[in-house]
Structure 1
């Protein structure tokens, strides 16, 4: 699966943007992989002057969004978790409950992803409780929008574009994306696009060992549980 097409930006409003804020958010996004870094390493990674990075880090420290390890390197702080919990509220628990049921019904790992810049980020991940061994996908893992089933499913929610990846156009027709070995070696992924009741774009995927699942059956499960997710939350029955 390959393409020279840059992914379309996720749905957003047009208008003037703050370059300073964008650079600061790039710092948080870089640290989101869990790897502690010095301010100079972050500056080198982002192609910015160290003073710019350090000012952003000090501000984030004040809000507990960033903290320092014992060796002085920076990593995400507990304030980030607090913001996420407050913003998601009961929705996070509801999504996890739906995904856990999907995992148990399909005997596969289920993940719910949202877009961030050019990547799909795992927001929720569940494994089937009845299996002794299953695929483990951690929350926060990131995949390329254009090189993964979860990402391609998200792109399928957007209007058609010139020179679009074939898999995206196909996903609009079939309602799902199926990949083998990408982004996981020896694993298959079936993903469906999900537009949440508030309009946010996401994807729902099932991950299982190669040739250990029927793609058509997996798609039927995904389609059923996608309807659960896209129903306004006040109507959910968990």
Structure 2
């Protein structure tokens, strides 16, 4: 694609004085790993890809199931049974052929976390369980990687930025992994399909701002109740 076509693709954001050509070059050089290509991961991937993040890793070991389709908008019934990471790579690459996309159809484990996370500049946590969230957090702390965090349940979501420019991390907010039996989850309690779109887009927004060196959340947890539009920001 020519420089002119690239200019036309990104013009609506590069005309912002806070971004410009310099900011677009930062996005182009950035390497972002999205762990989880589900409800949160799908909108995150769409927006960071179309914004021009130059290299995106998509890590997910799961396959597409019919109950995913009301909220995981990268997939259709034609992909049921296929690996999410592989399908997501194909879709995201079509959204923006200028970028590089890596599919990692594996589960993040203690054995592979260090090797994989070290390869990227920014890590985005779109996972759906506490064991994975804490493994991601602890590995990011070990290797000084900024982490975009989000979670969803029913009509409510949370967003935070951890381990960036000296900021705190997940264990500063929640020191220990909760007992899974004591924590509600979407499988049992449900989620309205638009909620992960809202929270995932917020996470993508913080990811782009972080790369662009614009102000991001710092030692703040955003709590967003979309049933009554109650937006709270807590310091920690």
Higher relative contact order (CA closer than 8 Å, sequence separation 6+):
2
TM-score (normalised: structure 1): 0.27
State the TM-score, normalizing by the size of structure 2: 0.27
